[in-house]
Amino acid sequence: MSESLLSRVGRLVSGTANSIVDTVESTAPDIIMKQAVRELDNAVEDVRDALGKAAVKKHVASQRLAETNKSHEELSEKIGIALKANEKDLARAAVARQMDLEAQIPILEKTIADAGDEEQELNSSILALQGRKREMTEQLDAYIAQKSAALKQDAEETAGGERKLNSTVDNANSAFERAMKAATGVSTGFNNTSAADSAKLAKLDQMTRDHRVEERLAALEAELE
């Protein structure tokens, strides 16, 4: 695994939802947390890509090692035949080739071992990132639930305040109604005016207005006489 990818995995796995939110001034920390979850997903994909490359490298090195060992064995057989035929030059060339192959074998073996270690490390990183994502998702869900509950409580408190205000006004009207009725014997009509009473009051208002109109008209006629 490259150092940059390794550092990135370490940062994502060691980070917490609170530390991520605290390091960013935002009015929407849930958005920041969702971005962090997406970054974890992206990191998992990058690690899987690196894992695929490590697997290919290991496979190619394994094939090359198998071919090298096979060639080494074949050369041993050819060297024996050449020596029996007293062809020392051929045997010498085969030995030189064998030595070249022998120099490659430990390198190939180390490549295979390193690729295997890298595969193991990458697999562990994937598991760690996936586990961190589950934790981060749980923290995000908890934050959203807490935020929703807080908004609901605020709405209920606001509605409760409005109901309290309406109740206070109603109580004041009732008190005024009782005081006026006790003093004058006449109801103000704040609380008990029925639809029929309202219609009668409206008709009375209209009659009063009509009467005033007639009075003014009579006065104007008298001035003209």
| Residue 174 within any structural domain of the chain | no
Q: Are residues 136 and 202 in the same domain?
A: no
What's 134's domain CATH number? Answer: 1.10.287.2610
Same domain, 99 and 204: no
| Residue where one domain finishes, among candidates 81, 110, 144 | 144
Of 150, 62, 43, 160, nearest to 111 (Cα)? 62
User: Do residue 34 and residue 130 come from a single domain?
Assistant: yes
Is the same domain home to 14 and 90? Answer: yes
CA atoms within 13 A on the CB side of 165: 6
Residue 57 lies in a domain: yes
Residue 168 lies in a domain: no
136 lies in the same domain as 214? no
Q: Quote the pLDDT of residue 34.
A: 82
Which of 83, 110, 144 is the endpoint of a domain?
144
Give pLDDT, residue 145: 84
- From 144, 164, 180, the end of a domain falls on 144
- Tell whether 106 and 205 lie within a shared domain: no
Number of domains in the chain: 2
Residue 175 lies in a domain: no
Whether residues 123 and 15 fall in one domain = yes
User: Contact at 8 Å (CB) between 103 and 125?
Assistant: no
Return the pLDDT at 59.
97
Report yes or no on 176 lying in a domain.
no
Q: Is residue 39 one of the residues assigned to a domain?
A: yes
120 lies in the same domain as 24? yes
CA-to-CA separations, 63 to 7, 58, 107, 137, in angstroms, rounded? 32, 9, 13, 43
| Full residue range of the structural domain in which residue 202 is found | 196-225
Name the stretches of the chain with pLDDT < 70.
Answer: 1-3, 15-29, 159-196, 198, 213, 217-218, 220-221, 224-225
Helices (DSSP H) in the chain: which residue ranges?
3-14, 17-22, 29-84, 88-184, 195-224
| Rg, C-alpha atoms of the chain | 47
* Token pair in block for residue 75: 């050369």
Q: Are residues 139 and 43 in the same domain?
A: yes
Whether residue 177 is contained in a domain is answered as no
Neighbours of 15 (CB within 10 A): 16
The answer to the question of residue 169 being in a domain is: no
Do 60 and 108 form a contact (C-beta atoms < 8 A)? no
> Are 116 and 55 members of one domain?
yes
Question: What's the confidence (pLDDT) of residue 77?
Answer: 92
